[in-house]
Amino acid sequence: MDASESEQYEAAIHGDREAFEMIIRTHSRTLFAIAYGVLQNREEAEDVVQDSLVKAWKTRWRVRDAEKFLAWLATITRHRAHDIFRKRRAVSLSNETIEATESHTADTTAIDQQLHSALAALPELHRTALTLRYFEEMDYRTIENTLGLTNGALRGILGRALASMRKQLRPALASMD
Amino acid sequence: MATIHDEIDTWLAADLHGELSNKERSALHAHLVDCAACRKTHHETKTMNKILEETFAQEKPDPAFEQRMLAGFRNRIPQRSGLVKVLVDLMRLRATQIAAVAAALLGLVQIGRMITGEPVTAPRAPERYAQIEVGPPQAPESRPSQAGALERSGGISAGRPQDLALQPPAPPAAARSQFQKESKVSATTAEPAKAAQSEAGDVAALELRNNAAVREEATQSPVESPAPALANRKLIRNATVELEIVSFDNAVQKITAFANGEHGYVATTDSEKQANGKLKGQIVVKVLPENLDRFLQEIRSLGELKNQALGTEDVTKAYFDTDSRLKNAHVMEQRLIDMLKTKTGKVSDLLQVEKELGRVREEIEKMQGELKYWDSQVQFATVTISLAEKDMEEPAAFLLKERAQLSLYTPDVEKIYNEAKSLASPKVQITNAQLNREYSGRVSAQLSMLIAPEESDAVIGRIKGFGRVENFQTQTQRIAQGGSGMSENARTKRDKMELNITISREEQEQAFQQTSLRIRTSSVDEKAKELRTLAEKQGGRVRSSTFSRDPDGREVANVSLRVPLKNYPALMQSLDSLGKVQNVSVQRQDRTEAQVDESNAPADISIQVYSQGNIVTEESGLLATLRRTLAQSAGAIMWSLRMIGVAIAFLAPWVIAIVGVIWLARRVIRARRKP
């Protein structure tokens, strides 16, 4: 993290709205990726990012260490996404999800459907890591920072995530070749 | 270590994501060349990666995503106006919160103090005032601060405008206003401003001191360089100085030298010798007025300056008045002379003129004398120097006053009283003699005498020999004469000694040591007599003796003896020969405050001689224990017997009654069978 970025966070914590808006510009896609990793739904993910930003602004003075501002934002987003996820499951497992998947199936191929179910089967951390990687093409280091992982842990996570996806999609893959 | 093959998934993913170093990548590719299975996995993973990239590319947020986020954020968090925003932001800062809590607590504490009536002002405040008031050291300069204090205490402004006018105007006024402000502030409860306030106080004190210094200079400067405008004025300057010096003569010499150095002269000198050999005196020196200040400075170096006063008298007006009157008188004189010269008119008129001329001349001379006197006074300043040698108060001599108190015990008071009286001589004067005889037989005497110092030791020695000295106290007082304090050189003289003697009969003396004991013996009367002879052998006397015998055959003799303490151990030793000595108790009164002749001090011994007769035997020893045990067991048996008796007495009526009933019943039954 370079100095100017750190200063930006500091300013945002102290109520500099412009700095905070700058952070929104640069990092909202990352937050989106995290929310999407949990929810796998674009609209919901967008709402989650929006809510998280508002909450972050309101509670920004709680952050003591400006260096950890981004990780803190990520945590807020993930928690918010979890809340939504739980609510969704509580409301109705059958209705919405299936409807949503059905609406997907209408205009997507079979492999897409398989991919989605395979993604849904992944542990949440793995899925988030994957979304961050494939949405934002972030390098491992940044992803680790954002998710609060230790050095080198991401390699194993992404390796395992890819492997399990591969195994689940093996028949489809074979057909593709 | 895990091989590439084992962790092929990780390696492949990292490779596809471009996270492998060159070295790692070549190692991976080398392995892929060798391992067919991994090659297959590699292929699959690549496809997987591609699918994922494609899929996620579809799901990626559109380019307007950030704008939407921003717009949503701005919608939901409207921009606040400046002040509110600053306030809200401030309140959210941790430091502000802590400060607010602290302020609230302090406020509570203050309210609590006000309620309980504790002083609310900052505790350092009084100290500061003290410091300020003490600060400016010299008397005239300390006035503004006193004035300030007055103003503070009662609001009565001390009316000293003339003093204040002399001083540089602005700074003291500022300092005073600061004073007032401060006192007001400290009267209210201004806790948070405490630090600032104390600072202000210190600054004020500092300023005051500076002002004092400035003022000192200001008051001195006109003295040191008289303004040129004053040069043709007629000013008489004089000064008085009081000095404490070590040596008078030396100081006079030096003053003379200084005076000559300043073109002056010593006008008069007088000195006086004190009883203690110290000199004091007065010197009047005349010096040129312009040299006066330097001269005074020089004088100060001679010793300790006690007092100094400098005065100036302006005689300009009187001088010039006299001067013009003199001129007039001269004119008058001339005219009178002219009148005489013309010699016209009657003789009586001429005589009148002559008389007038005489009067005018007299006046002229008087005025001339006056002017001359003033001239001399103006020409030279008068310095009156009072000198006193150090330790002026040192005493000239010391008088040693001795007073002694002597208490004597003797068998024959009257004899000793007469003997003491016969000691009277020119050098031993009896001032008071008194012999008291009471009905109870108590005899005592009191003597007071004055003894010449050279005789005192001998006389006291003799009187001490008359009897037993119970108490002897001397008191010496050294009285300084012609001064006070200490002196190394003063002589010490012994005064007549005052001696008070009290003579009492020996019997009245309280025993120094009291012993009581019991002697068990078979023949009480005989032993009591023996005891008396023993006591006489040891120089003791029997004070009282009683003998009694009760119907049980118990004989008791009480003998009270008094022996000198030196014979006490021997007597005690010899008592053992009389019988078994028991219950010895000794009581001694150490009289620390008095000088006591211990060997001759009386020791009282009370002895009870009693017969073994029916007096209860010892309660210790094997036999006694056995006896007690037996007695106790006998007692126990008796007790149980009694209990048995009680039980029998308790049961017997019932037994008798039952037996009676049975016997009657049998008789009845038998009586029925028979018929």
CA separation for the pair B340, B524 (Å, rounded): 144
Task: Please tell me if residue A89 touches chain B, with a CB cutoff of 8 Å.
Answer: no
Residue B634 is predicted with a pLDDT of: 95
Restricting to A residues 95-124, those with a Cβ less than 8 Å away from any Cβ of B are 111-112, 115
A171 touches chain B (CB under 8 A): no
Lowest pLDDT segment from B52-61, B427-436, B617-626: B617-626
- Per mean pLDDT, which of B145-149, B425-429, B612-616 is the most reliable? B425-429
Alpha-carbon span B39 to B370, nearest angstrom = 142
Amino acid, res. B239: A
Instruction: Enumerate residues 6+ apart whose C-beta is below 8 A from B446.
Output: B432, B433, B434, B436, B500, B501, B502, B503
Which member of B65, B76, B85 has the closest CB to residue A54?
Answer: B76
Residues of A in contact with B49 (CB under 8 A): 162
pLDDT band at A92 (very low <50, low <70, confident <90, very high): low
Percent of chain A scored above 90 by pLDDT?
4
CB pair distance less than 8 Å for B44 and A173: yes
Q: Is A91 on the interface with B (CB under 8 A)?
A: no
A78-82, B14-18, B421-425: range with highest mean pLDDT = A78-82
| Residue B157 or residue B379, greater confidence | B379
Chain A residues within 8 A of B45 when measuring between CB atoms: 162-163, 166
pLDDT of residue A167: 83
Which residues of chain A does B59 touch, with a Cβ-Cβ cutoff of 8 Å?
Answer: 36, 42, 135
Closest residue of B to A36, CA-based? B59
Of A54, A155, A161, the CB nearest to B14: A155
Q: What is the DSSP string of B222-243?
A: HHHS--GGGTTS-EEEEEEEEE
Q: Which of A49, A139, A166 is nearest residue B45 as measured by Cβ atoms?
A: A166
Categorize the per-residue pLDDT at A109 as very low, low, confident or very high, splitting at 50, 70 and 90.
low
Q: Is pLDDT above 70 for B641?
A: yes
Q: Are B555 and B519 in contact (CB under 8 A)?
A: no
Q: Which of B377, B408, B635, B619 is nearest to B503 (CA)?
A: B408
pLDDT of res. B595: 53
Q: How high is the mean pLDDT of chain A? A: 80
Nearest to B19 among A15, A111, A139 (CB): A139
Specify the pLDDT at position B190.
43
- Interchain pair A29, B55: CB under 8 A: no
Q: What is the pLDDT of residue B218?
A: 45
What average pLDDT score do residues B66-82 get? 81
CA-based nearest residue to A82, from A116, A52, A40, A38: A38
Whole-model pTM: value is 0.34
The rounded distance, in Å, linking the Cα atoms of B387 and B304 is 10
CB atoms near residue A85 (< 10 Å): 18
The percentage of chain B sitting over the pLDDT mark of 70, rounded to a whole number, equals 76
Cα end-to-end distance, chain A, whole Å: 43
**How far is the alpha carbon of A177 from chain B, nearest alpha carbon, in Å?**
9
Work out the burial of residue B522: count CB atoms within 10 Å of its CB; fewer than 13 is exposed, 13-18 middle, 19 or more buried: exposed
**B265-273: strand order across its sheet:** B265-273, B279-287, B381-389, B235-245, B304-314
**Min Cα–Cα distance to chain B from A17, Å:** 8
Closest partner CB to A159 (pick from B10, B61, B77)? B10
pLDDT of residue B649: 94
pLDDT of residue B120: 47
* Distance between CA atoms of residues B485 and B528, nearest Å: 67
Taking the C-alpha atoms of residue B55 and residue B58, their distance in angstroms, rounded to an integer, is 5
Contacts of B68 in chain A (CB under 8 A): 46
Q: How many beta-carbon pairs below 8 A join chains A and B? A: 110
Nearest to residue A104, comparing CAs of A117, A94, A89, A93? Answer: A117
pLDDT single digits (tens) B583-640: 888 888 776 655 556 677 778 888 888 876 554 555 667 888 899 899 999 999 999 9
Contacts of A58 in chain B (CB under 8 A): 77
Contact between B17 and A177 using a beta-carbon 8 Å cutoff? no
| DSSP secondary structure code for residue B81 in this structure | P
pLDDT tens digits along B158-186: 444 444 444 444 444 444 444 444 444 44
Q: With contacts defined as CB-CB under 8 Å, which chain B residues touch A176? A: 47, 51
pLDDT at B597 (0 to 100): 63
Are A115 and B52 within 8 A, CB to CB?
yes
At B650 the pLDDT is: 93
Least-confidence region, from B175-179, B567-571, B576-580: B175-179
On whether any CB of chain B is under 8 Å from the CB of A29, the answer is: yes
The distance in angstroms from the start CA to the end CA of chain B is: 133
* Predicted local distance difference test score (pLDDT) of residue B224: 42
Q: Give me the pLDDT at residue B16, please.
A: 83
Q: Which segment of A106-110, A162-166, B123-127, B303-307 scores lowest on mean pLDDT?
A: B123-127
**A86 near B CB under 8 A:** no
| CB within 8 Å: B61 and A61 | no
> Apex CA A78: angle with CA A77 and CA A84, to 5°?
90
* Inter-chain touch B61–A32, beta carbons under 8 Å: yes
- The whole-angstrom distance between A22's CA and the closest CA on chain B is 9
Distance separating alpha carbons of residues B579 and B525, to the nearest angstrom: 13
- Tell me what pLDDT residue B656 has: 94
Residues of B in CB contact (< 8 Å) with A are 7, 9-14, 17, 19, 41, 44-45, 47-49, 51-53, 55-57, 59-61, 65-66, 68-70, 72-73, 76-77, 79, 85, 89, 92-94
Q: How far apart are CA B15 and CA B29, in angstroms?
A: 10
Confidence check: pLDDT of A177 > 60: no
Beta-carbon separation of A134 and B66 below 8 A? no
Q: Do A21 and B94 touch (CB under 8 A)?
A: no
- Of the two residues B286 and B182, the one the predictor is more confident about is B286
Q: What is the mean pLDDT of chain B?
A: 76
**Which residue of chain A is at minimal alpha-carbon distance from B14?**
A155
Dist CA B573 CA B551 (whole Å):
33
Which residues from chain A sit within 8 angstroms of residue B60, using beta carbons?
A: 135
CB contact under 8 A, A28 and B66: yes
B214, pLDDT greater than 60: no
Q: Tally the residues of chain B.
A: 675
Please tell me if residue A158 touches chain B, with a CB cutoff of 8 Å.
yes
CB-CB neighbors (< 8 A) of B44 in chain A: 166, 170, 173
Q: What is the pLDDT of residues A115-138, one digit of tens each?
A: 778 888 888 888 888 888 888 888
pLDDT of B475 above 60: yes
> Is A65 at the interface with chain B, CB within 8 A?
no
Contacts of A50 in chain B (CB under 8 A): 69, 72-73, 76
How confident is the model at residue A95, as a pLDDT?
A: 53
Task: Using pLDDT thresholds of 50, 70 and 90, give the confidence band for residue B157.
Answer: very low
- Subunit contact B9:A160, Cβ cutoff 8 A: yes
Residue B362 above 80 pLDDT?
A: yes
User: Is a pLDDT exceeding 70 seen at residue B392?
Assistant: no
Each residue of A65-77: pLDDT tens digit? 878 888 888 889 9
- The mean pLDDT value for B77-105 works out to 77
pLDDT at residue B376 greater than cutoff 60: yes
Q: What is the mean predicted confidence (pLDDT) over B381-402?
A: 80
One-letter identity of residue B40: K
Which is more confidently placed, B664 or A40? B664
Average pLDDT over residues B531-545: 82
Chain A residues in contact with B76 (beta carbon < 8 A): 50, 54
**Residue A133: closest C-alpha in chain B:** B17
**Among B57, B69, B93, beta carbon nearest to A28:** B69
| B386: CB partners within 8 A, 6+ apart | B240, B241, B242, B243, B280, B281, B282
Q: What ipTM score was computed for the predicted complex, to two decimals?
A: 0.79
pLDDT band, very low/low/confident/very high, at B140 (cuts 50, 70, 90): very low
Measured between CA atoms, how close is B105 to chain A, in angstroms?
Answer: 24
Is residue B221 pLDDT above 60, yes or no?
no
Percent of chain B with pLDDT strictly greater than 90: 7
Contacts of B12 in chain A (CB under 8 A): 159, 162
Greatest mean pLDDT among B359-373, B439-453, B607-621: B359-373
The pLDDT score that the predictor gives to residue B14 is 85
Q: Does A168 touch chain B (CB under 8 A)?
A: no
Q: Which of B41, B51, B92 sits opposite A61 (nearest CB)?
A: B92
Mean pLDDT of B231-252: 83
CA-based R_g, chain A, Å: 18
Query: In this predicted model, what pLDDT tens digit does every residue of A17-37 receive, in sequence order?
Result: 888 888 888 888 888 888 888
Q: What pLDDT score was predicted for residue B196?
A: 46
DSSP per-residue letters across A74-110: HHHHHHHHHHHHHHHHHH-IIIIIIHHHHHHHHHS-H
